[in-house]
């Protein structure tokens, strides 16, 4: 697999925008505009503000009302969206090539000229509060929220990106505007555009709509890494039929090869539909329908979760099964062979091919690599280095990462 697997140019504009242009033969173009600010960088009285601003950018600009802006976005005839995570906020559009310039003009207007109308803030406050309550009503979402709360004392990972109900109820327009003015600056912005057009044409188009954006100094709060707490907690919730079990591990400072070994281990352990945990909990014992692991290697995050839901009377047995599986991996009772590595290489190659085929996925992947200061061709290095991973590396990384978890269990509250 050649390194120059797609035709890319990286350009830093004079105002500091980092632009990645990808020339791809397709009828579909994709724009991703990422502001390198997320919930990690919020102060205690700002929890949820980055996500609130994401919502507000769709609520009107200097030249467009809320209705006009959203009508124009709809009339692109494609898909437009946005999301906020721990590290960044991303606005995107997937459109026919002929609508690329119109889409870019709209996203640029939102980034530069949003007005935060007071009446729209109040409406959106209600929307976000409803979103928070929806999470609290969903036992799976709430389980992840709760395990993070008990795992950390001061890490921003304690708080969901959506924020807390108390703060969202009180956040003022001035706080939103100040945060927006402070961090929504060109030298904190990354843009990826996938299209069939020449790089120079796209660069000039971006300059046309974003070239007047003025570079400004800004400072983000320093992120303090915190290892998870070794603790187990049980909570109770009304009107749930299934109990949930969540394990959380954190890892920081692993080498690239160690993270690669962890990705392979995670796939075999809990990510695949034929994983060790799936076979033990669901296939052999029939304890659980839903069981999986989730690995996040993003900067400042570095988390591995194990999730399952079982009946209340099966909780202890399920925990024993998970603990036994972990012990059997560490003691090398579970055998990993060359086929495990070869299969993972095939899976990674399939995932890469799928990403390259889809303009939206490709643009999203590239912008995250750029924002995290990672090589956009890192997957080619991963493919090459995967051949160097041996079974002993999987055992070693299991012993390094899978120790002293945070465990949270939700049980049904007794009806009295």
- CATH number of the domain within which 186 lies: 3.30.830.10
CA–CA separation, 317 vs 314, rounded Å?
5
Which residues form the domain of 17? 7-210
CA–CA separation, 20 vs 346, rounded Å?
28
Task: Please report the DSSP string for 360-381 in residue order.
Answer: HHHHHHHHHHHHTT--TTHHHH
Instruction: Check if the beta carbon of residue 288 is closer than 8 Å to that of residue 310.
Output: yes
- Residue 215 placed within a domain: no
Instruction: Check if the beta carbon of residue 38 is closer than 8 Å to that of residue 50.
Output: yes
pLDDT of residue 383: 77
Domain end, chosen from 210, 240, 263, is at: 210
Instruction: Check if the beta carbon of residue 117 is closer than 8 Å to that of residue 66.
Output: yes
Instruction: Check if the beta carbon of residue 391 is closer than 8 Å to that of residue 264.
Output: no
Whether 280 and 174 share a structural domain: no
Whether 87 and 154 share a structural domain: yes
Phi, psi dihedral angles at 250 (to 5 degrees): -115, 155
pLDDT of residue 64: 96
- Residue 138 placed within a domain: yes
Whether 108 and 171 share a structural domain: yes
Whether 65 and 29 share a structural domain: yes
pLDDT of residue 1: 36
- This prediction's pTM: 0.91
Whether 199 and 248 share a structural domain: no
- How many separate domains does the chain show? 2
Instruction: Check if the beta carbon of residue 385 is closer than 8 Å to that of residue 261.
Output: no
Whether 239 and 336 share a structural domain: yes
pLDDT of residue 276: 94
For each of the chain's 416 residues, which pLDDT tens digit applies?
A: 344 567 999 999 999 999 999 999 999 999 999 999 999 999 888 999 999 999 999 999 999 999 999 999 999 999 999 999 999 999 999 999 999 999 999 999 999 999 999 999 999 999 999 999 998 889 999 999 999 999 999 999 998 999 989 999 999 999 999 999 999 999 999 999 999 999 999 999 999 999 999 999 999 988 888 999 999 999 999 989 899 999 999 999 999 899 999 999 999 999 988 899 999 999 999 999 999 999 999 988 999 999 999 999 999 999 999 999 999 999 999 998 888 778 877 887 888 888 888 999 999 999 999 999 988 888 778 877 877 889 999 999 999 999 999 999 999 987 65
């Amino acid at each position: 697999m050649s390194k120059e697997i797609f035709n890319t140019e990286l350009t830093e504009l004079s105002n500091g925008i980092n632009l990645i242009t990808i020339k791809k033969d397709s009828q579909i173009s994709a724009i991703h505009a990422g502001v390198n600010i997320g919930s990690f960088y919020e102060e205690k009285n700002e929890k949820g503000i980055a996500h609130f601003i994401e919502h507000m950018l769709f609520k009107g600009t200097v030249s467009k009302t809320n209705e006009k802006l959203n009508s124009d976005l709809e009339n692109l005839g494609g898909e437009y969206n946005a999301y906020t995570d721990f590290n960044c906020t991303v606005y995107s559009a997937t459109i026919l090539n002929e609508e690329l310039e119109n889409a870019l003009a709209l996203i640029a207007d939102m980034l530069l000229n949003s007005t935060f109308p007071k009446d729209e803030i109040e409406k959106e406050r209600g929307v976000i509060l409803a979103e928070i309550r929806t999470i609290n009503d969903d036992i799976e979402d709430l389980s992840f929220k709760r395990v993070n709360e008990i795992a950390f004392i001061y890490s921003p990972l304690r708080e969901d990106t959506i924020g807390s109900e108390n703060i969202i109820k009180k956040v003022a327009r001035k706080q939103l505007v100040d945060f927006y003015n402070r961090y929504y600056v060109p030298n904190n912005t990354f843009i990826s555009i996938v299209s069939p057009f020449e790089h120079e044409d796209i660069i000039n188009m971006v300059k046309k709509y974003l070239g007047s954006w003025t570079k400004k100094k800004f400072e983000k709060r320093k992120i303090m890494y915190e290892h998870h707490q070794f603790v187990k907690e049980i909570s109770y919730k009304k009107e749930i039929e299934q109990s949930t079990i969540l394990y959380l591990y954190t890892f920081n400072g692993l080498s690239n090869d160690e993270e690669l070994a962890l990705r392979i281990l995670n796939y075999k352990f809990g990510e695949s539909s034929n994983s060790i945990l799936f076979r033990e909990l669901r296939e052999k014992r029939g304890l659980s329908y839903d069981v999986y692991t989730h690995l996040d290697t993003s900067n400042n995050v570095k988390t591995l979760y194990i999730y399952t839901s079982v009946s209340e009377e099966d909780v202890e047995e399920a925990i024993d099964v998970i603990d036994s599986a972990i012990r059997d991996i560490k003691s090398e009772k579970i055998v990993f062979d060359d086929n495990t590595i070869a299969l993972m290489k095939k899976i990674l190659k399939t995932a890469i091919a799928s990403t390259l085929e889809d303009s939206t996925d490709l643009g999203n992947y590239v912008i995250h690599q750029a924002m995290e200061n990672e090589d956009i061709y890192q997957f080619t290095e991963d493919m090459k280095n995967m051949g160097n991973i041996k079974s002993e590396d999987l055992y070693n990384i299991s012993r390094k990462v899978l120790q002293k978890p945070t465990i949270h269990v939700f049980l049904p509250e007794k009806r009295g």
